[in-house]
Each structure stands twice: as structure tokens, then as C-alpha cells.
Structure 1
Amino acid sequence: MKQFLFDLDLSYEQCEQFYSGHIESIQVTSHSGKTIRIPANRFRSFITPIGIKQQFKLKLTDYNQFISLEKIT
């Protein structure tokens, strides 16, 4: 299993583009420097009235299949 930590800071207006279909994936850089592209729909449950301003932990299998995406408090 692989784990990646990263920060995400998106305004509510940027998050609205997930729903309109203009954004299909979000590219982030993990704290270790790895660039990762994640389907935007994975973040829908984390959207607040101010957008998404959170640190996350992404877990993948050794074959890069999605396991989970968790916000870190």
C-alpha cells in the first residue's frame, strides 16, 4: 500500500467546476514531492461553503488503485 499526504486549497467557485464538468481531475503535489492526479469527484464530500482548505491522506494499492481519501485534522 502507498500513502501520500498533501494540502488542498480551493475556493468554492473552483469547486463548482467539479459539478459543471469543466474539471475532471485535480493534480496535487504530495509532501514528498510526488505529483498525483486524482479524479475530482473524490473531493465532492469535502466541499464546504468556503471550498476545500484541508490536508489529505490518499491511500493506493501497490498497483495505484484507489483505497481511500481522508482529511487530516
Structure 2
Amino acid sequence: MAKIVVEVTLSASQYQTLYSGQAKNVVAYSLDGRKVQLPLSAFRRFVTHGGIDGIFDVEFDDKHKLVAITRIR
């Protein structure tokens, strides 16, 4: 399995705009500079009143399918 570390910061209003249907994915850059597109729904459990803000460990299987997202900070 492949892993990358990404930082995601979305304010509550940005998240609400995306969640309301205008977008289904979040584009983020890994800490080593790779661009990755992740489903917004995968971050639902990390949403607070302030939005989403953190560094996340993202795991993919051998076919590049999302397996897990874990908040590391």
C-alpha cells in the first residue's frame, strides 16, 4: 500500500460551499509536492465548527483506490 501525507485547510464556509454540491473532491498537495485529488466525503469525520484543518496520512491500495485517511496533526 502507498501512503502520502497531505495538509488540508478549508474554512467552514469553504467546506459548506463544497459540500452543498458544487464540488465532490478536494485537491491537495502532499508534503513532498505531489498533487492528489481526494473525495470530500472522506473528510466528513474531521469537520469542526471551523472547517477542516490538519495534516493527514492517506493510504491507497495497489490500484490507487483510497483505503484510509488518518489525522496525524
Taking structure 1 as the reference length, the TM-score comes to 0.92
1:24 paired to 2:46: no
Counterpart Cα distance in 2 of 1:25 and 1:5: 17
Task: Tell me the amino acid that sits aligned with residue 71 of structure 1.
Answer: R
For 1:38, the equivalent position in structure 2 comes to: 38
Counterpart Cα distance in 2 of 1:44 and 1:72: 16
**Which sections of structure 2, spanning at least 5 residues, go unmatched?**
none
Number of equivalences: 73
Counterpart Cα distance in 2 of 1:40 and 1:18: 8
Q: Which runs of 4+ in 1 moved over 3 A?
A: none
Q: Alignment identity in percent? A: 26
Note the 1:29-68 alignment, pairs <5 A. Answer: 29-68=29-68
How much has 1:18 moved relative to structure 2?
3.4
Conserved? CA contact 2:12–2:49, under 8 Å: yes
Q: CA RMSD in A?
A: 1.0
Counterpart Cα distance in 2 of 1:4 and 1:45: 19
